[in-house]
Amino acid sequence: MQAHPLPEKEVMYQALVRKDSQFEGIFFAAIKTTGIFCRPTCRARKPKPENVEYFASVKEAMDHGYRPCKVCHPLQMKGRAPEWLQGLLQEVRDNPEARIKDWQLESRGLNASRVRRWFQKHYGMTFQAFQRMLRLNQAFGQIKYGERVTDAAFQNGYDSLSGFGETFKKTTGFAPSRSRDKALITITRMETPLGPMLAGATQEGICLLEFTDRRMLETQLERLKKLLKAELLPGENPHFAELVR
């Protein structure tokens, strides 16, 4: 079973030939004649199209008997956000109230479809949904610590109070005004030498640190929510800095 849908083979082959960094994290190319698999940006000599098959993850390629390339080292890149995406990730984390549209991605030289696929693979949601979650996370914290609901809504880019309230309740299960009585677990994806991990933190400290490909991770998250009587939302938390020292 594929980790996520792949682009058309011709599209992937042309990306492989061009060494297109925008496809990093989207696919791995496995060379039938050599038994190795590579990142899209590999510098090694390119094979004929009929000698290449494609996989959505390192695991899938290795499960089919392929070995990692010694030129591009695909294992070292496991789950890492590609360079072409790092600026965008930093921007939305620094400015969660921003609302970046697909046409704005295209104007920056980013392919909106590729951005969407990367976020769906690594966060389980589209880029637009990721932005909404960051805005809701920030609004939650503002309301919890004294900000008026109206002010939090407009500061985070919502045009109407009713639209904000509807989105907030649909996501968290309760009205914005109840945020003061609720706990929040902020979650983020972190890169480590061993692979990508999911970290979670409350105002008190770190409460979760697990590999993103761990079996039953979703079940563990649900148990954590019940244990702490809290909601999960992507975002930033000062305690995450302790994990990267």
Whether 9-77 and 133-244 share one fold: the answer is no
What does the alpha-carbon distance between residue 233 and residue 135 come to, in Å, rounded to a whole number?
10
Q: Of 133, 104, 98, 137, which Cα lies nearest the Cα of 119?
A: 133
Q: Is the pLDDT of residue 1 over 80?
A: no
Give burial (CB, 10 Å; 0-12/13-18/19+) of 95: middle
Specify burial of residue 158 (Cβ count, 10 A radius: 0-12, 13-18, 19+): buried
Could you tell me the fold of the domain covering 9-77?
DNA Methylphosphotriester Repair Domain (3.40.10)
pLDDT tens digits, residue range 185-210? 888 877 765 677 888 888 788 988 88
Residue 79 has pLDDT above 60, yes or no: no
| pTM for this model (two decimals) | 0.54
Instruction: Judge whether residue 19 has pLDDT over 60.
Output: yes
State the pLDDT at residue 230: 83
Q: Which CATH superfamily is domain 133-244 in?
A: Homeodomain-like (1.10.10.60)
The structure tokens listed for 197 are: 């991990």
Q: In the chain, what are the domain boundaries? A: 9-77, 83-123, 133-244
Give the rounded distance of the alpha carbon of 30 from its chain centre. Answer: 24
